[in-house]
Structure 1
Amino acid sequence: MSKIVKLKKGFDINLAGKAKQKLANFAPAQTFAIKPTDFIGLQRPKVLVNEGDTVKAGTPILIDKALDQVVYAAPVSGEIVAVLRGEKRKLLEIRILADQSISYENQEKTDLNSLDRDALAAKLAASGVWPNIIQRPFGIVANPADTPKAIFISAFDSHPLAPDYGFALQGEEKYFQAGLDALAKLTSGKVHLNVDGSKSVPAIFSGAKGVEINQFSGPHPAGNVGVQIHHLDPINKGEIAWTVSPNGVVQIGKFILEGIYDASKVIAVTGSEVTNAAYVKTISGANVSTFVKGNLNSGHVRVISGNVLTGEKIALDGFLGFYHNQITVIPEGDYYEFLGWAKPTAKKLSYHRALGLLSFLNPKKEYVLDSNCRGEERAFVQTGVFESVTPMDILPVYLLKAIMAEDFDEMEELGIYEIVEEDLALCEFVDVSKHPVQELVRKGIELIQYS
């Protein structure tokens, strides 16, 4: 039965630079990269190609020896121009110089009625689309051999400057439905499609069949799939659920109907430091320089693949992350401001009324915020704000302290199985103690996962 969930806890970070709902005519990217660091839990990567090899979109280029049935495929056709490694030969990137016209590895179209659950999972795992399916707990690429109790899809993103999926997925209705049909066959339970209850629901979601459509409303992190799982069907120890983004559902649907791995998607180019904040059609792993260079208000900026809370800092000529649907450009904050955190001003946004009182006088104002933390890590200050921005029945401060103490029993009792980094990212934003909350969450997850 569908649910309507209204959340009160949370905080919306209203930044300047939201993308206008139009497709910009940026020059297409020429180089693309697969970054193993995008795939959390990738333990023993094995490169299947060498520099100088030619590939098609969908050609296997990487596997994890620990889960070798899952293929990580080339997003475009072209030449492998670099296999970059870091310290201790850690694999960092596999770069591809793209052809002007993309050619695809043609695989058989899929008749869902002719395949059982395991055969469908094996086919998807070998296609390149499987890494879109993420397992909870732990937030890692799912194992095709597992059967989740349910699959969850968040049809809206409440992160700062996040793209509007209704606009970005226009024209993809048949592929989205085909993806839903395939996912429904992979679970023994329901497929939950969670929409924004505070706005009109786009037709691509409201017309979806074979799923349970639930409505969520409230401040961020209402769009986080982890928060939605918590209110619909919480994950207990020993249980597994899967999550897929709307773009991932479309990729799966295109493979089902067309027999190709099509990694194209519409992303938002956002942030106060871009002159043309708009949407652009590109391909996963694209070099972002064509969207950023020549599109800046200033030269001293931070480019982020993803959003400001959970995204990854990249260079001006860096690459779009596999799971990211936006690029954000904000001012770089590498400066010292004397008593900057204590000066009342209308230019700064703060969750704390004592520090950002003036920001509460105009809640709809868009702010230009930089990357300056305005302080250093210090002892935990017990303020109670973590609980006020976490719409889940967990105690974030006690959970983080249990992680620091490496107390496994306490971590389990306090909800480590229900969260990944993004679910407590707001805690990091409001933390006066400046702790790396998301790093601590991942440390706790890994302690439990590999214990």
Structure 2
Amino acid sequence: MFPWFKTERAVAPVQSIRTGAEIGRVAILGVDVPGLRPKMLCEQGSEVLQGQPVFHDRSHPDVVFAAPVSGTVESITYGPRRTLSALVIRLARHAASPKPASVDAGTAADLRAALLAAGLWPSFLTRPFGRIPTPDAVADTIFVTATGDNAQAPDAGVVLEGREDAFGRGIKALMLLTEGPVFLCQPPGKDLVSGLEDRIRIAQFASGPLTGLAGHHIHRLHPVRAGRMVWTVGYQDVATIGEWLETGVVNPTRVISLAGPQASSPRLIRTLAGASLTELIAGETRSGNAEPDVAVVSGSPVSGRPAAWLGRYHQQVTLCKAAPARRASPNRGLKAWLSPSQQSPAALIPTAALERALGFGVPVVPLMRALSVGDSDAARKLGCLEMTEEDLAALSMVSTSGADYGQMLRHVLDELAEDA
């Protein structure tokens, strides 16, 4: 656990959905799409309509990213090597409703083409590499994740109330994208959907820092190995796909948990994908202030990141007390934000906690050492292809070295992906 968990009590969010604060800006973030270099289809100041393509993957032009809302492109910023940092859209007030598209999804090829054209293809991520699938990729199996990695995540059953038909329609559509099974991984209890076909299999996992993660589900049910690719997709994306198949319109909203020890009223809220977190949390903190008094984290307290925008794959915003001071640190992400940093990495001390923090049955310390020195070949042999950054978040927390192993894993995965 991060230090603030030891001193601040985080109240469980009320599991009923309310409308969140009015949002004026949304963003599409490069950090959510590792390895992608965008080819822009708009420029700063452009007027865009909801569902309009705003950029595509330069290497795979069929992979389109669409504007989640209608408005004006406020800014486009880039990171190293012309990777995307953020594309920000300021919402147009009183914008006309998007025109429904005609969706032909009768065959696998039709569904694939329609998902690509609608900008819904980024709903899927691959194992290995944790990237968006190429347009011609075929999954050996698909995992739908409906579990949380912490006690403050939204209850999928609550989120899907009233959307059961859309969720079931989306689940069944996934069968066109794979010849293998589609696993619906959900908490024990009432099934989220009924009347499914044999190739759709329900697997029950308790929510938690390890058991709630897609990597744990994959390792248990269909491990990744050479020549095998699986896809993951979140349950809200599946419901969105199901609604889009029925209406021809992509729903830009997402239900998230607004939680954490500094949240004044922890609860579920409905907001926009990529929402400005400054706007979203206005008046929602115990102190009434935003940063620097409060650390705003997109995602869970375990695997989230300090952010100004809601992440594409996040279903939670966590508010906690910011560290009193920050110094130059080898850490990255949430750990660097919340913890006082060290001037240099400390020694790696093998402990029982390290073994418990990674549930893949691999030698933990050798993997950590391989990642620390960027030995991609050794990391691959030790099983890193099954993992993404979220799978190593708990490991980074309990490690004595002070390093962010998720970030190290990303460097290794990107190197292996380039060589694949």
TM-score interval for Structure 1 and Structure 2 normalised by the shorter chain:
0.7 to 0.9
Identify the match of residue 193 of structure 1 among 184, 204, 208: 184
Cα drift, residue 180 of structure 1: 0.9
Of 241, 248, 251, the match for 1:259: 248
| Ranges in structure 1 where 5+ consecutive residues have no aligned partner | 1-12, 337-369
For residues 322-363 of structure 1, the C-alpha deviation after alignment (integer angstroms, 9 at most, x for no partner) is 111111110111349xxxxxxxxxxxxxxxxxxxxxxxxxxx
Q: Indicate yes or no: 2:85 matched with 1:92.
A: yes
TM-superposed deviation, 1:409: 3.6
Instruction: Quote the residue 2:141 is aligned against.
Output: 150
Pair 1:407 & 2:395 matched: no
State whether structure 2 residue 214 is matched by structure 1 residue 247: no
The corresponding residue for 2:333 is none
- The range that moved more, 399-408 or 57-66, is 399-408
Partner residue, 1:372: 339
Shift of 1:428: 0.8
Alignment-derived partner of residue 329 in structure 2:
none
- Corresponding residue for 1:220? 209
Q: Secondary structure at the match of 1:63?
A: strand
- Is residue 333 from structure 1 mapped to residue 323 from structure 2 by the alignment? yes
Return the offset for 1:37: 2.2
Q: 5 Å matches for 1:138-177?
A: 138-177=129-168
**Aligned match of 1:319:** 309
Partner of 2:119: 128
Structure 2 alignment gaps of length 5 or more: 327-336
For 1:292 and 1:387, the matched residues in 2 are separated by 37
**Counterpart contact for 1:400–1:441, Cα < 8 Å:** no
What is the correspondence of 1:383-394 to structure 2 with a 5 Å cutoff?
A: 383-394=351-362
Deviation (angstroms), 1:53: 2.3
Deviation at 1:158, TM superposition (A): 2.3
Residue 62 of structure 1: aligned partner? 55
Instruction: Report how far residue 169 of structure 1 moved.
Output: 2.0
Q: TM-score by structure 2 length?
A: 0.88
- Alpha-carbon distance in 1 for matches of 2:358, 2:83: 35
| Secondary structure of the structure 2 residue equivalent to 1:242 | strand
Distance across 1 between alignment mates of 2:94 and 2:164: 25
Residue type of the alignment partner of 1:62: F
CA displacement at 1:88 relative to structure 2: 6.5
The answer for the alignment partner of 2:98 in structure 1 is 104
Residue 86 of structure 1, CA deviation: 5.3
Alpha-carbon offset, residue 142 of structure 1:
1.1
TM-superposed deviation, 1:447: 2.4
Equivalent-residue separation in structure 1 for 2:127 and 2:80 (angstroms)? 30
Structure 2 counterpart of 1:301 = 294
Q: Following TM superposition, by how much is the alpha carbon of 1:145 offset from its aligned partner in structure 2, in angstroms?
A: 0.5
8 Å contact kept, 2:375–2:412: no
CA 1:31–1:217: 2 relative to 1, 3 Å: closer
Query: Counterparts of 2:77 and 2:120 in 1: how far apart (Å)?
Result: 23
- What secondary structure sits across from 1:140 in the alignment? coil
Question: Contact 1:155/1:205 (CA < 8 Å) preserved in 2?
Answer: no
- In the alignment, the residues of structure 2 paired with residue 277 and residue 245 of structure 1 have an alpha-carbon distance, to the nearest angstrom, of 22
Letter of the 1:19 partner, please give it: P
The Cα shift of 1:34 comes to: 1.4
2:174 matches 1:183: yes
Quick check: 2:150–2:208 contact (8 Å CA) kept in 1?
A: no
Query: Residue 204 in 1 paired to residue 195 in 2?
Result: no
Q: How far off is 1:219 after superposition?
A: 4.5
Contact 2:49 2:71 in 1 (8 A): yes
SS at match of 1:279: strand
Q: Tell me if structure 2 keeps the 8 A contact 1:17–1:273.
A: no
Q: Whose Rg is larger?
A: 1
Q: Distance in 1 between matches of 2:319 and 2:52?
A: 32
Shift of residue 377, structure 1, vs aligned partner: 2.3
- For 2:202, what is the secondary structure of its paired residue? strand
Residues 391 and 27 (structure 1 numbering): CA distance in 2 closer, same or farther, change over 3 Å? closer
The 3 A distance-change label for structure 1 pair 409 and 20 is same
Question: What is the Cα deviation at residue 223 of structure 1?
Answer: 0.8
What is the distance in 2 between the residues matched to 1:118 and 1:400? 41
- Between the aligned partners of 1:380 and 1:227, the Cα distance in structure 2 is 24
C-alpha displacement of 1:140: 0.4
User: For residue 290 of structure 1, what is the aligned residue in structure 2?
Assistant: 279
Distance 2:38 2:235 in 1: 27
* Percent of residue pairs identical: 30
Counterpart residue identity of residue 332, structure 1:
A
Larger mean Cα displacement after TM superposition, 215-224 or 326-335: 215-224
- SS of 2:61's equivalent in the other structure is strand
Deviations 1:213-242 (A, max 9, x none): 011237431010111100101010121110
Indicate how the Cα distance of structure 1 residues 89 and 413 shifts in structure 2: closer, same or farther if over 3 A, else same. Answer: closer
Which amino acid letter does the alignment assign opposite residue 69 of structure 1? Answer: D
Task: Note if contact 2:53-2:64 (Cα within 8 Å) is conserved in structure 1.
Answer: yes
Verify the 8 A CA contact 1:26 1:290 in the aligned structure 2.
no
Q: Which secondary structure state, in structure 1, belongs to the residue aligned with residue 268 of structure 2?
A: strand
Tell me by how many angstroms 1:430 deviates.
Answer: 1.0
Letter in 2 for 1:212: R
TM-score (norm 1): 0.82
Aligned to 1:5: none
Does the residue aligned with 1:83 lie in a helix, a strand or coil? strand
Is residue 21 of structure 1 aligned with residue 11 of structure 2?
no
Equivalent residue of 1:244, what SS? strand
Task: Report the residue type matching 2:252 in the other structure.
Answer: A
Aligned mates of 2:213, 2:103 — CA distance in 1: 32
Partner of 2:395: 427
